[in-house]
Amino acid sequence: MIDNEIIAEANSLARDFYGLMGYGVPKGYRFHRATHPKEHLCWQMAVVAFKRLRQTSIDGVARE
């Protein structure tokens, strides 16, 4: 996967996590730019999931 695909997939995963918490955002929302604590938490959860399940670190990728 290229960086943009990884970021998009991680944002999609963060959106799913956010939905499980009872919240919603529009498709394309960028959790990696979020300042709200719950949205930021969902992004961090996606980062952990990528590290564990795909052995892919996205910490330094989404700094745009």
Q: pLDDT digit string (tens) for 17-54?
A: 999 999 999 988 999 999 999 999 999 999 999 888 87
User: For residue 63, what pLDDT is reported?
Assistant: 55
**C-beta of residue 47 within 8 angstroms of C-beta of residue 59:** yes
User: For residue 58, what pLDDT is reported?
Assistant: 67
Residue 29 DSSP one-character state = -
User: For residue 8, what pLDDT is reported?
Assistant: 92
Q: What is the pTM of this model?
A: 0.81
Distance separating alpha carbons of residues 20 and 43, to the nearest angstrom:
13
* Residue 64 confidence (pLDDT) above 70: no
* Residue 59 confidence (pLDDT) above 80: no
